[in-house]
Amino acid sequence: MTVSLEMAAEIRRLYFAEHWKRGTISTQLDMHSDVVRRVLGRFGPQPGTPRPITLVLDAYKPFIDETLQQYPRLVATRLYDMICERGYTGSIRTLRRYVRKARPRPRRAYLDIETLAGEVGEVDWGHVGELAVSGGYRPLWVFVLQLSHSRAVFAELEIGRASCRERV
């Protein structure tokens, strides 16, 4: 069914200005509901498309980012006081969530290394003292193996050959 421009305008007026439901419009104008749906379908957001979300905080994000660049350790409550003076009406929780993501991260002086299980292990061997035995002292050595993935440690003590010297 072809709808005149006047009738299409009336359907749109009743739907958008008067906030009538589609079924009410089709009943009052003696039209099929598919005709009303077809006329209204070209206007407004399509079903299933997300609406753009505008947050109260959006207008203050550039100011927050600039302030955090200058003062990266500034607490969120101080930022909240600063933007409330500029007209912010939102909550501190919303601001804290944003600051947690926007705060510049400090640079680290080390590199995290991720290893697979059994891929890397570190070995060390060292002198840890002497052991008193009858007739003298023997050097005591330790062998240590540490797995990088699990941080499991294996250590074994070894007694060296007898030393010729005697301790006084």
Domain for residue 151, yes or no? Answer: yes
Closest listed residue to residue 25, CA positions, set 4, 41, 7: 7
Claim: this prediction has a pTM higher than 0.75: no
Does residue 98 belong to any structural domain of this protein? yes
Residues 61 and 89 in one domain: yes
Q: Is residue 62 part of a domain?
A: yes
Q: Which of 97, 59, 56, 52 is nearest to 76 (CA)?
A: 97
155 and 126 belong to one structural domain = yes
* CA–CA separation, 119 and 125 (whole Å): 20
As given in the structure block, the two tokens for residue 75 are: 């607490």
Residues 50-67 have pLDDT tens digits of: 777 778 899 999 999 999
Q: Would 25 be classed as within a structural domain?
A: yes
151: left (phi > 0), else alpha (psi -120 to 50), else beta?
A: left
Q: Which domain holds residue 62?
A: 56-102
- Count of domains observed in the chain: 3
90 inside domain? yes
Alpha-helical runs (H) found in 85-124 = 92-102
pLDDT tens digits, 67-124: 999 999 899 999 999 999 999 999 999 999 999 999 998 887 888 888 888 788 899 9
Say if residue 36 is in the same domain as residue 60: no
